């Protein structure tokens, strides 16, 4: 009897010692993970946020090697990835769920795709959850709030790239006749309808004045498309006007931007 009791105590001690090295939600095991916010509930859906470089890059005043707006003829000419964001149905979102240092080596095999489809469009260094400045991709917190659906850095970035390539918004708009132009204005309803017909969901469209800044495609946790929460406010004063533009961007070297589809290569 004493022998059995000793064995049970030993097993209990082993379980407790192992659990001390695991984060409380079981997402990323390791000493470099720290829970930052225990009060945030699990997210409801994903929003894939895509930005139009023709709108964003018009504000470029300074160039650096990491700023894709300064690549001249190689400046992005299709929607690029802003991020894959876990969101709540009430319009809010979780943030800074874990502190885990970004390790670029973990995504070294993805760098070609990251540079092309998920480039930085500025020279600044974004702030990090734990203070100070971080890398552009590290700013995405590499999926720290995406648990339990996405559990590590590599999975976060490869999942985002795959969703982007599968839901090619630039190609959808191109096929519907919506191309980059500094003179044309397009009906917002027509752009939304083109995306609805392609993916059977309603996107969220964000503008800067009359220019499309971002388009967001939303997904359930199993990555099936769904309507975005913000799509219900598409015609509100906080969103876009009835007619919008997809502006061209003239890079600092003077070469005009020409719409090029990712499928052209």
DSSP symbols for the chain:
-HHHHHHHHHHHHHHHHHHTTS-TTSS--STTEEE--SSPPPP-EEEEEEE-HHHHGGG-----TT-GGG-GGGS--S-EEEEEEEE-TTS------EEE---GGGGGGGHHHHHHHS---SS---B-TTSSB--TTGGGGGGTTSTTT--SHHHHHHHHHHHHHHS-HHHHHHHTT----SS--EEHHHHHHHHHHHHSS--EEEEETTEEEEEEEEE-TTS-EE--GGGGGTTSTTS--SEEB------TT-PPP----GGG-
Q: What pLDDT score does 22 carry?
A: 26
Structural domain spans, the chain? 45-245
* Share above pLDDT 70 across residues of the chain, in percent, rounded to a whole number: 68
pTM of the model as a whole = 0.76
State the pLDDT confidence band at 69, using cuts at 50, 70 and 90.
confident
User: Which CATH fold would you assign to the domain 45-245?
Assistant: Ribonuclease Rh; Chain A (3.90.730)
State the pLDDT confidence band at 66, using cuts at 50, 70 and 90.
confident
Q: What pLDDT score does 99 carry?
A: 66
Q: What pLDDT score does 123 carry?
A: 80
Question: Looking at the annotation, which residues are catalytic?
Answer: 82, 140, 142
State the pLDDT confidence band at 73, using cuts at 50, 70 and 90.
confident
């Amino acid at each position: 009897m004493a022998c059995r009791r000793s064995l049970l105590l030993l097993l209990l001690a082993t379980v407790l010692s192992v659990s001390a090295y695991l984060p409380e939600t079981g997402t990323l095991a390791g000493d470099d993970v720290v829970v930052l916010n225990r009060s945030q509930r699990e997210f409801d859906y994903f929003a894939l946020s895509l930005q139009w470089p023709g709108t964003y890059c018009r504000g470029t005043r300074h160039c650096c090697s990491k700023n894709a707006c300064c690549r001249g003829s190689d400046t992005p000419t299709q929607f690029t990835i802003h991020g894959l964001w876990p969101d709540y149905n009430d319009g809010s979102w979780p943030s800074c769920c874990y502190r885990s240092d970004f390790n670029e080596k973990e995504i070294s095999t993805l760098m070609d795709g990251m540079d092309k489809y998920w480039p930085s469009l500025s020279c600044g260094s974004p702030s990090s959850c734990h203070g100070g400045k971080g890398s552009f991709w590290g700013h995405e917190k590499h999926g720290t709030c995406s648990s339990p659906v996405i559990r590590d850095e590599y999975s976060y970035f490869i999942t985002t790239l795959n969703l982007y390539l599968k839901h090619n918004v630039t190609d959808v708009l191109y096929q519907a006749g919506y191309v980059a132009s500094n003179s044309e204005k397009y009906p917002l309803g027509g752009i939304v309808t083109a995306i609805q017909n392609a993916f059977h969901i309603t996107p969220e469209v964000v503008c800067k004045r009359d220019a499309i800044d971002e388009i967001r495609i939303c997904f359930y946790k199993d990555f099936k498309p769904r309507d975005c929460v913000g799509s219900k406010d598409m015609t509100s004063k906080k969103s876009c006007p009835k007619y919008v533009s997809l502006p061209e961007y003239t890079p600092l070297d003077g070469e005009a931007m020409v719409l090029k589809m990712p499928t052209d290569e």
